[in-house]
A and B are shown apart, each in its own frame.
Chain A
Amino acid sequence: MPLVKVQSRGTENVGGGRRNIVINGAMQVAQRGTSETGVGGADGFFTCDRWGVYQGGTDGRLTMTQDSSAPSGFANSLKLDCTTADTSIASGEYFAIYQRFEGQDVQQIKKGTSDAENITVSFYVKGNASATYAVELFDNDNTRQASQLFNVTTDWTRVVKTFTADTTGAFDDDNAQSLQLNFWIHAGSNLTSGTLNQTFAANDNTNRAVGISSFFDSTDRTFFITGVQLEVGSQASDFQFESFGETLSRCQRYYTVIADGSEFVSSTFGMGAMYNSTNVYGSLKLPTAMRTGPTADMTSGTGYFNFFRNGGADAFDSVTLSVSQREGIEFYNQSEISGTAGHAGFFRIAHSNAKIALTAEL
């Protein structure tokens, strides 16, 4: 039998298990939808799961898309396309995309201890023209931060930035937000008038985004990002790919779709029964335990939902949470349905625009 020589690959950044702390770094999962117009007027989550928008005061608007443009080996990116420019930047304006991490998921960084680890962030970016933006790590537990600039060109480029270990301020070991990864692409002087703070220090807003250009300087502006990885150590390892199912399951800790009429008008969302003549109750076990008791996030309207029972269907407009736990929910509708106590039935979406999702985002 021939012998096979196994070559060493070194040890740094090659630990077993999951290295990438970022969820959905390859922008595979977009449960909320694949495109959203007019983004810039409100905070929130719009397309790719786990990637939020943080904004203030800008008149700039963009379309956010889960896009098929991507570097070799990737299938998707998150695309921002400026649709309304904002070239008069007031001091308090800002726009960033971000991902937040639970404290219990970043303990391996050993932040705030003498054994604190360096953190390396890597990602692929491109744009319509050259631009300079900032990537920031923000310690929410101790109000500390560090930022580094990166350049965007018209070609896909992998950016690697290492942040020096911070021996001050430990992350809480809980399910609340401890670390936030920000990409600043537009900011006024409140965030740019100081000196860029490149190693962890007590937060001074004026030092957070110094030196960036503005994404909203032209409606020609685009920004694509994918392959986002945040790992312990001083080198970037290859992006850690995972299956769609793995990524979806990780995303469902924070957001999960229960029923979506745009996918199937008669989507079912569980069984229920008339508790009395005017109140119908239902319950659901969730596919993944969520971060905390979730919010029910609905698109509602007249007759958007149905309760089928006793050979017919009763239409109703929305549901109300009566119990919200990490593993399951109980919901009811009051007074839009009338029937016989004890009748069992099942719930369905009744309109293509109707949707029910559960959210427990950070």
Chain B
Amino acid sequence: MNINTVKKNINPITNELCSYQVTFVNSNRVLSVPINTENTDYQAIQEWVKEGNTIEEAD
């Protein structure tokens, strides 16, 4: 994935982290990725973080 940004989503009902919102370079594609180690998009985000990138806090 050519990730541009990853931002935390906090569920307004529980006030807990529920997913990541992912944007891409030069694209209007958006992913909402669950916090789930079986999910390959979640795995890709962890790799992206290992490469030195940072997940943004929720608004």
A300/B28 contact (C-beta < 8 A), A292-B38, A332-B12, A359-B41 known: yes
A295/B13 contact (C-beta < 8 A), A42-B2, A320-B19, A359-B41 known: no
Interface flags for B1-45 (1: CB within 8 Å of A; 0: not) read 110000001011100001101000000111111101011111000
> A317's closest neighbor in chain B, by CB?
B30
CB distance from B14 to the nearest CB of A (A): 8
Are A295 and B32 in contact, CB atoms less than 8 angstroms apart? Answer: yes
Residue numbers in A under 8 Å from B28 (CB-CB): 299-301, 353
> B18's closest neighbor in chain A, by CB?
A322
The number of residues on chain A lying at the interface, defined by a beta carbon within 8 Å of a beta carbon of chain B, is 36
Are A292 and B19 in contact, CB atoms less than 8 angstroms apart? Answer: no
Interface residues of A in 318-362 (CB under 8 A from B): 318-324, 331-332, 334, 353, 359-362
Q: In the complex, A293→B42 CA distance in Å?
A: 10
A331/B32 contact (C-beta < 8 A), A294-B39, A320-B21, A360-B39 known: yes
State whether the Cβ of A298 lies closer than 8 Å to any Cβ in chain B. Answer: yes
> A278's closest neighbor in chain B, by CB?
B12
Q: In the complex, A279→B40 CA distance in Å?
A: 28
The interface of chain A, by Cβ under 8 A from chain B, is: 41-44, 175-176, 275-276, 279, 281, 291-301, 318-324, 331-332, 334, 353, 359-362
The interface of chain B, by Cβ under 8 A from chain A, is: 1-2, 9, 11-13, 18-19, 21, 28-34, 36, 38-42
8 A-B pairs with CB atoms under 8 Å apart are A276-B12, A281-B13, A295-B41, A298-B30, A300-B30, A318-B30, A321-B34, A360-B39
